[in-house]
Structure 1
Amino acid sequence: MTTKTVAELLSQDVTLQDVTVKGWVRTFRANRFIALNDGSTINNMQCVVDFENFEETLLKRITTGAAIHVTGELVESQGRGQSVEIVVKSLEVLGDSDPETYPIQPKKHTLEFLRKNAHLRTRTNTFSAVMRLRSSLSFAIHKYFNENGFYYMHTPIVTGSDAEGAGEMFRVTGLDAKNPPLNEDGTVNYKEDFFGKETNLTVSGQLEAETYAMSLGKVYTFGPTFRAENSNTTRHLAEFWMIEPEVAFMDLTGNMDLAEDFMKSVLSYVLETNKEDLEFLDKRLQDIEKHLPQAERSPMNLIDKIKFVVDNNFKRVSYTEAIDILRNCKPNKKKKFNYIIEEWGADLQSEHERFLVEKHFKCPVILFDYPANIKAFYMRLNEDGKTVRAMDILFPGIGEMVGGSQREERLEVLKEKMKALDIPEEELWWYLDLRKYGTAVHSGFGLGFERLVMFATGMGNIRDVIPYPRTPQNAEF
């Protein structure tokens, strides 16, 4: 008999059939009702046991967390909460289960406690829902790019360049930590290292993706990136995943069109495929916010927030116009913002971005043409000499979701910008070659995958949307 998943059985109309299912026990009530879950759905399958037909020693082994194999008859449920249930004919407990030490008991656990038990936390409804949504979003991303003519590119994880100029990178070395080779001035001689130069874990695959876009036309990366930033905020990880498309012959307007269509597509996908998980997470969030002061509650529930992005056209606003709006708005004039906007050139904070989305325009917003001095060296300089062809997409509840730009395709302009920032030409000679040989307008953007998962699940801490978070002083599991 073929083993069925719980999701398959709950979706079937046919009853009075013999079925077999395997999963983990959530609860076992009154020596009669087993709530069984196999990870395929947030819902449990109720398995009804006639205890007179089974040995007491077997029933004692059916504890929370135990893995079991059940065979029985799928029938219409006699109780509330489920449409069908299984009347158990045979039951096998697979392996051992220690009820005294099993940490994920059927009670409310704090998120911090579950992070300490990250290897088992997906056995809770919250984390199983989050990780199914993460998987669906990942599939939707690949699906979108595949259907739109993009080629998937694997960019290097070990790199000799710092694409963002952040300087907060993890060094990769094969040298003896206690006795490394030294130069005459006492510095480490990386020429004797494995790669013959100083190397690090990548912070972005963008620069390499640009090289492939300038031959394949449309490419994207979706891989791990790393930042050695000593930050313990709810939005920072040392290891995270980035989606970075790059497109040849596309200007900033085309880049904004692509990013908007992409975001709407992937979020529409999970609205369709993960309805039950979203409904559960939506209710979870509403239950949490009942206990918060009114001012701290979200302006929209989770599903409405996602639909807010999917159903609205994104408003496109220049940075200069946004600064004027923020400078003259009531929260700024009454000094309600934590960061007061006083003059052009300010780097916008999440509170400013959310005001524009949630209060002023009441739709997702794309800001463009930012001051050059707060953006990266590779962004195309505008004719005014002070702004660049950058764009950020702002979402409700979270602020910036996507950051991108039209890339600087002019060799001399790019050289001047690199010189001003002390970026050696010999370090990025291959990147400059793109501006020598067949240079053309091209654009792209970056999206932190975990930030997208946070938005789609309503989770407030980025450590709860990745299987095993890597943060300062934490590399467990």
Structure 2
Amino acid sequence: MRLTRAKISLLLKEMPLDQEVLVKGWVRTKRGSKNVAFIALNDGSTIHNLQIVADPNTIGEETLKKVTSGACIAVKGKLAASQGHGQKIELPADEIEILGEADPETYPLQPKKHSFEFLREIAHLRPRTSTFGAIYRIRHAMTFAIHQFFNERGFYNVHTPIITASDAEGAGEMFQVTTLDLNQPPRNEEGEIDFKQDFFAKPTNLTVSGQLEGELAAMGLGEIYTFGPTFRAENSNTSRHLAEFWMVEPEMAFYELKDNMDLAESFLKYLVQYALDHCADDLEFLNNRALDEEKNKKKEEKSEMTLLERLNFIVSNDFARVTYTEAINVLRNSKPNKKKKFQYLIEDWGADLQSEHERFLVEKHFKRPVILYNYPKSIKAFYMRQNDGEEPGKETVAAMDVLFPGIGEIIGGSQREERHDRLIARMEEADIPQEEMWWYLDTRKFGTTPHSGFGLGFERLLLFVTGMGNIRDVIPFPRTPENAEF
């Protein structure tokens, strides 16, 4: 009877001793002597390797010579209890078939520690490493958990457009989409590029957010969420920025700001708990990897909590809910501000908070996750609901940001401005053309209602859950300035 390939994760879990199995995977390492070879085999299904025990007399020396790091092999044999330390089971090989050789002279992933910078240069091979195998399995688990969370609560997944003629944030840093000949673009009578001859007959871009279209869907379906790629043409090379990244954006009819905060807190706790429950082996590996890195850091650079402690910190603490005004007072009177330790000093109400301020509030002052709300209108987007009865010069909007340790802002959202006249006035202030947004304004004319939503940067979530320090290491193929290699 033909054997079906068994996944290593299943064999390590069920340990069917004395049963003949077929495994296939990539060789991590090979060691041994003339009499026996020990091969660490991994097939991507788990962080753990399966030890293959190969007798040169059974397998053949010529075959074993081709079993090098990076080679792909198939192994048949009967699973046995391990005679050595470090694993409970092993597979004495009856047959080894070389599926794909890896030249040991040129294979880049030799069995040694590689820097993340080097691994980004060979992003096509880094899924084979233990660290990136763990990250990508966690990325999958978080994707599944996001859909499960919303499905359990009756939300509908909506696919919003990737190509758009609107700029949801008013940022202006967008990638243009065109079919025009860039060497000889058509011109109109004024000498400007004639976009009427372009595919969509108007200037279009890659989207920065699915929010605005998500709002339209929520006005008929009640509660929806989008989960898709978004794009920013921001020329930034920091460890927190990507040109292409994924956003989770729920939009809910009949939700006010408090409902929005309740959902965001439940959502984040659900995702972190899901990771703890379903990614234990990968998280333990990443936790230990981070502890090894901590040994080389200066005392002031060391983290106060381990990765696993930070994750449990989220699920075991209620989030503090603090107004922007309260936060400004805390920051203004804080020691780092008074001693000028902040890079950006807090002086006046209306300042846009930086990551250093957000992390101080979470890690030093409140010592738990924080939801800041009611921000100054002047530093927030046009679509956020304006609060009534505000002091002149200190007008606020019903915005909220969720702040996490080590990350700062992980979610940004608001109650949306549902009043037609107030929205138009705000668009005029922000110089946003109403004629291009007629469809958005229509929802405020026909059956308007209070509604809210937020955005979670998926890679920011993954930075927190995996403990990685650079956002380029939690997405398979990062898109950054001057880099679209793979």
Please give the TM-score of this superposition, normalised by the length of structure 2: 0.97
CA shift for structure 1 position 191: 1.2
CA shift for structure 1 position 178: 1.1
CA shift for structure 1 position 333: 0.8
The equivalent residue for 2:431 is: 422
Q: Please give the per-residue CA displacement for 1:111-158, whole angstroms capped at 9, x wherever unaligned.
A: 111001001001111111111111111110011011110100100000
The equivalent residue for 2:147 is: 142
The equivalent residue for 2:18 is: 16
Letter in 1 for 2:412: G
1:219 corresponds to 2:221: no
CA shift for structure 1 position 419: 0.7
Q: What SS does the corresponding residue of 1:46 show, helix, strand or coil?
A: strand
In 1, the alpha carbon distance for the partners of 2:252 and 2:158 equals 13
Map of 1:27-66 to 2, 5 A cutoff? Answer: 27-30=29-32, 32-66=37-71
1:444 corresponds to 2:453: yes
Q: Please give the per-residue CA displacement for 1:63-116, whole angstroms capped at 9, x wherever unaligned.
A: 111111001111111111111001111110103322211111100111111001
CA shift for structure 1 position 16: 1.5
Q: What SS does the corresponding residue of 1:11 show, helix, strand or coil?
A: helix
Map of 1:68-217 to 2, 5 A cutoff? Answer: 68-217=73-222
In 1, the alpha carbon distance for the partners of 2:325 and 2:49 equals 53
Q: What SS does the corresponding residue of 2:92 show, helix, strand or coil?
A: strand
The equivalent residue for 2:405 is: 396
Which residue of 456, 459, 483 corresponds with 1:474? 483
CA shift for structure 1 position 352: 0.7
Which residue of 437, 440, 459 corresponds with 2:468? 459
Unaligned runs of 5+ residues in structure 2 are none
In 1, the alpha carbon distance for the partners of 2:401 and 2:239 equals 21
In 2, the alpha carbon distance for the partners of 1:410 and 1:92 equals 69
Runs of 4+ that moved beyond 3 A: none
CA shift for structure 1 position 18: 1.1
Map of 1:265-414 to 2, 5 A cutoff? Answer: 265-385=270-390, 386-414=395-423
Letter in 1 for 2:181: D
In 2, the alpha carbon distance for the partners of 1:75 and 1:55 equals 21
1:434 corresponds to 2:443: yes
* % identity of equivalent residues: 63
Q: What SS does the corresponding residue of 1:20 show, helix, strand or coil?
A: strand
In 2, the alpha carbon distance for the partners of 1:253 and 1:163 equals 23
Q: What SS does the corresponding residue of 2:14 show, helix, strand or coil?
A: coil
Letter in 1 for 2:166: S
In 2, the alpha carbon distance for the partners of 1:441 and 1:203 equals 24
Q: What SS does the corresponding residue of 2:388 show, helix, strand or coil?
A: coil
Letter in 2 for 1:23: G
CA shift for structure 1 position 184: 2.1
Backbone CA RMSD of aligned residues: 0.8
Contact 2:70 2:101 in 1 (8 A): no
CA shift for structure 1 position 378: 0.2
How many residue pairs get aligned? The number is 477
Letter in 2 for 1:235: R
CA shift for structure 1 position 185: 2.2
Q: What SS does the corresponding residue of 1:459 show, helix, strand or coil?
A: coil
Letter in 1 for 2:151: N
In 2, the alpha carbon distance for the partners of 1:183 and 1:411 equals 36
CA shift for structure 1 position 286: 1.1
Q: Please give the per-residue CA displacement for 1:35-84, whole angstroms capped at 9, x wherever unaligned.
A: 00000001000010111112211111111111110011111111111110
CA shift for structure 1 position 206: 0.0
Letter in 2 for 1:256: M
In 2, the alpha carbon distance for the partners of 1:152 and 1:456 equals 24
